[in-house]
Chains A and B, each alone.
Chain A
C-alpha cells in the first residue's frame, strides 16, 4: 500500500475520477454557508492566499483526522496570511456540531444545496459516493489556483504539501500553468 501513489491506486481500483482543476486555472467563485446564517465567498479573501480543503465527511472516526490536524497548525498558515476553508457536502448544522465537538477554529463550508456543486466546479466530486474527494487547492490572492492535490480518499494528505505550496507562493516560485 505504501508503495502506491495516487495514480496506481486509481487504476487498480478502476475508479473513474473527475479531474481536479489544475494550477493556473482561475478558481471558481462560490458562496456557501459556514453557519446556518453566515455565507462565505471566495471573493471575501481577495488579496490573500486561500487553502481550500475538500474532505468527504464530518465525523471521521480517527484522532487527528485531516481537519483536526489543520486545526493544530493554523498559526503556520497564518504566517502566510492564508485563510483555510474546509468544504464537505455536510449541512451547516452538521458542520456546527462537528466544529464544536472538535474545537475547530476555522470555517467549514456546506456544499450542501445543490449538493456538491462547488466540488463539481473544482472537479473533485465523487458521484459514486455522493461526497467529494480529499482534495487540496492553494489559491493566490488574485484568485488563481497555484497548487492542487487529490489524495486517495482513504489517505489523509497531511499538511506538508500545503505548507510547501504556500512557501513557494510567497517566494514567487509557483506560477500559473505549472
Chain B
C-alpha cells in the first residue's frame, strides 16, 4: 500500500475532459494545474511549445487543481474556465487566464470573458452561483487520488511524470511513451 509506487490516473480521460488534439493520438498528456500558481504559469508556454512539436501525435488534457488556501483567486479562476467551457470556449479562457495570471480577481475574469467573446450575462451568473464549483472539486479530488502532489503535475499516458518538465525532458518522456504506445 505504498503511496507512490502506483501514481496513475484514477479517473480516465473521457468526454468530460477538456482536450486538445486527437482522441486517438499515441500520447495523452494530462496536466493538473492551478491558474494562479507561478510554476503552472511557467509550464504554460512549455506545453504550447510541446503541442507545436508533437502536432497530431499529442492529446493535451487540462484538469483543475486549485490550491485555494495558497492562491486566493485560483478556485474562482478555475470555475471561470469551466463557465467558459459551457459556452464552448474553454481553451480561449484557459489561455487568457495563464497569460494574465497576476490579475485574476472577479472584475478581470469578466473582462477576459468579454475579450474571448463569451456571452457576459450567463458567464457572470455561473461565476456568482459557483455553478462549476463541484466540477472543479471533482477534478481536484481525482488528482489527489491519482497522486498529484503539487502543481503542475503531469501524467503521460496515465502515469505520473516525476521528472523535470522543461521542453527537452518532457519531449523525451512523451517520445518514449509514443514509441511504447
B146/A64 in contact, CB under 8 A: no
Known contacts A68-B67, A69-B149, A156-B150, A2 near B163 by CB under 8 Å: yes
Q: How far apart are the CA atoms of A65 and B149 in the complex, in Å?
A: 7
Known contacts A1-B162, A2-B162, A163-B144, A63 near B70 by CB under 8 Å: yes
Known contacts A6-B4, A103-B69, A149-B2, A160 near B147 by CB under 8 Å: yes
B interface list, Cβ under 8 A from A: 1-5, 7, 10, 34, 37-39, 65, 67-71, 140-141, 144-151, 159-163
What range describes how many residues of A lie at the interface? Answer: 35 or more
Residues on A with C-beta less than 8 A from B150 are: 62-65, 68-69, 156
In the assembled complex, 18 residue pairs joining A and B whose CB atoms fall closer than 8 Å, in A order, are A2-B159, A64-B70, A64-B149, A64-B151, A65-B150, A68-B150, A69-B67, A69-B150, A72-B67, A72-B68, A76-B141, A105-B69, A157-B149, A158-B3, A158-B4, A159-B144, A160-B3, A165-B1
- Report the minimum CB–CB distance from B162 to chain A (whole Å): 4
Q: How far apart are the CA atoms of A76 and B142 in the complex, in Å?
A: 13
Residues on A with C-beta less than 8 A from B141 are: 73, 76
Instruction: Assess whether A136 is interfacial by the CB under 8 Å rule.
Output: yes
Instruction: Assess whether A161 is interfacial by the CB under 8 Å rule.
Output: yes
- Report the minimum CB–CB distance from A150 to chain B (whole Å): 9
Residues on B with C-beta less than 8 A from A2 are: 159-163
The 10 closest A-B pairs by CB, nearest first: A161-B3, A158-B149, A156-B149, A64-B150, A2-B162, A157-B3, A103-B69, A64-B67, A158-B147, A63-B37
Residues on B with C-beta less than 8 A from A5 are: 2, 4-5
- Report the minimum CB–CB distance from A156 to chain B (whole Å): 4
Residues on B with C-beta less than 8 A from A102 are: 69-70
Interface string of A98-136 (1 = CB under 8 A from B): 000011110000000000000000000000000000001
Where chain B touches its partner, the secondary structure class is: loop
Residues on B with C-beta less than 8 A from A163 are: 144-145
Known contacts A62-B150, A159-B144, A6 near B67 by CB under 8 Å: no
Q: How far apart are the CA atoms of A158 and B161 in the complex, in Å?
A: 14
Instruction: Assess whether A31 is interfacial by the CB under 8 Å rule.
Output: no
Within 8 A of B (CB), among A121-178: 136, 147, 149, 151-152, 155-165, 168
Known contacts A63-B151, A147-B1, A155 near B162 by CB under 8 Å: yes
Q: How far apart are the CA atoms of A66 and B160 in the complex, in Å?
A: 17
Interface centre among B145, B150, B163 (most CB of A within 10 A): B150
- Report the minimum CB–CB distance from B31 to chain A (whole Å): 13
Q: In the complex, which residue of chain A has the Cβ closest to the Cβ of B71?
A: A63
Q: How far apart are the CA atoms of A10 and B70 in the complex, in Å?
A: 32
Q: How far apart are the CA atoms of A164 and B7 in the complex, in Å?
A: 13
Q: How far apart are the CA atoms of A158 and B8 in the complex, in Å?
A: 12
Instruction: Assess whether A35 is interfacial by the CB under 8 Å rule.
Output: no
Residues on B with C-beta less than 8 A from A104 are: 69
Instruction: Assess whether A25 is interfacial by the CB under 8 Å rule.
Output: no
Q: In the complex, which residue of chain B has the Cβ closest to the Cβ of A71?
A: B69
